[in-house]
A and B are shown apart, each in its own frame.
Chain A
């Protein structure tokens, strides 16, 4: 466990040394402030469009941070020839994978915390009210969703040759699930067999990332989701994180390190 945490610490340090997060964070702030400065018929209480833009940017930025940070972890170690010395230490391959996962996931959590603090401040400046439970639920759900994304990218980094191809494929999969994942079963019914069965299988096998998208509820000030459903969704996320991590460990076990 100590080894895993040590590896995770290095990954987190890498995140705050790199410029990616800062650039994305500053761009988000600038875009949101420009949007907030627009005069909407002299009404200073119009806020939901700013919340929506801000949350959209948070989603895009954190996905970019999660996928790109994770996708380059193991390829970079291999390219720099540091993977072999790393594994020569009392560190197993499973610990390395878990450390990389934990580091990337915690790094995403830190990034998410910064983004949500800004989001909360921005929303409160117009609404004069903190919907703390809603923000907490949205943040936690998004963080667990990012955990699945990180695990998937980690698996991809061991399967695909280059970080760029891995990142592209991950973005396509994530975008596909977020946009059509909820409706795949409806679409399957319009197809002929055996495609119908295949798409239905995919619908039940795919991790439903759209569960974790609470943006509409937060933007439109809906009441918080019942905690029992949040708990079940988090369990579902942990389940898929384990599946991807076990897959990554199995692939890495047979992988040449140099």
Chain B
């Protein structure tokens, strides 16, 4: 009978060799840039592919927002280029055009006509009650949240995931605390995102009624947006000074600013509204002038500027009157 001893010795020798090799390579592997061993489950499993899946789940959330009525890759998706759940937050520039109700087009044949009875065939939004059409059920919008959460986990650098999730958590679920946590997580991953600061300002202003903090984060948002342009001064200057400087120069927007004019308009008009309420009309006019520059409806903002100018005139008049 062959003695098993040499096999045991060989096994021990191999284990020692494995241990030694692992101990030798471990520090080098941890320092290697291509390593996936960060502890994040999705990074280990998918690497950079996770961003592709993140977008899929983001779209899935929008599909849920429409209760399943959503164009496939074969349908005309011109009316769905920007997710409606993001568009409805009022802080995202829409690239949608065309008929969102009829992307299926006219019935093509009897199979197409018959098949339309077996899938969602009507445009609805969950925050408006979904297929039931009952506004009382607008909390149904909670159903988009799992997909948004998954999308944020997979791609922590996608700004819209944070703003959209926070908006619906705050607006429809009244879960302000979770929205706050979500936005701060967003700031940790994307510290230069003016969209997140705008949403955070709305949360402070509307939900916490903390106007000072709202003003601070909105002003910081304006600074971040202006600093997308390399010509903007880099030093520590108050946002209003940066705006003055920007207004004094001819309008020239960099590509990212052009794509995100709505956020800037929202930031400045919200700051203007706050200053108007506080009686700081000169400051409010400055914010409005900045908003007017990027607005798609400058006439409406000009009307507000005119209104504030006339208020300023009325305020100055009583001082001047006795001289006449």
Residues of A within 8 A of B (CB): 38, 40-43, 45-49, 141, 180, 182-183, 185-187, 203-204, 208, 210-214, 216-217, 219-223, 225-226, 229, 232-233
Contact = CB atoms under 8 A, between A and B. Distances in A.
Given A41-B145, A214-B119, A225-B117, 11 more contacts: A40-B145, A43-B175, A49-B146, A141-B118, A185-B112, A216-B68, A217-B68, A220-B68, A221-B67, A222-B67, A229-B118
A127 B143 CA distance: 12
B115 A182 contact: yes
B114 A41 contact: no
Given A49-B143, A49-B147, A220 B130 contact: yes
Interface of B: 64, 67-68, 72, 74, 108-109, 111-112, 114-115, 117-120, 130-132, 142-143, 145-147, 149, 169, 173, 175, 178
Contacts, number: 88
Contacts of B178: 41-42
Given A185-B108, A187-B74, A229-B118, A46 B175 contact: no
Contact of A41 (B117, B118, B173): B173
Contacts of A180: 74
Contacts of A38: 146
B120 A211 contact: no
B74 A229 contact: no
B64 A48 contact: yes
B64 A225 contact: no
B149 A216 contact: no
Contacts of B147: 49
B173 A43 contact: yes
B146 A46 contact: yes
A217 B108 contact: no
A159 B178 CA distance: 59
Given A221-B130, A223-B131, A43 B115 contact: no
Contact of B145 (A43, A229, A232, A233): A43
A187 B108 CA distance: 13
A156 to B, nearest CB: 24
Contacts of A41: 145, 149, 169, 173, 175, 178
Contacts of A185: 108-109, 111-112
A162 B281 CA distance: 83
B74 A183 contact: yes
Contacts of B109: 185
Contacts of B169: 41
A182 B107 CA distance: 12
30 contacts: A40-B145, A40-B146, A40-B149, A41-B145, A41-B169, A41-B178, A43-B173, A45-B142, A46-B142, A46-B145, A47-B143, A49-B143, A49-B146, A182-B112, A185-B108, A186-B74, A187-B74, A203-B111, A208-B115, A210-B118, A211-B115, A212-B118, A214-B118, A214-B119, A216-B68, A216-B120, A217-B120, A221-B130, A225-B118, A226-B117
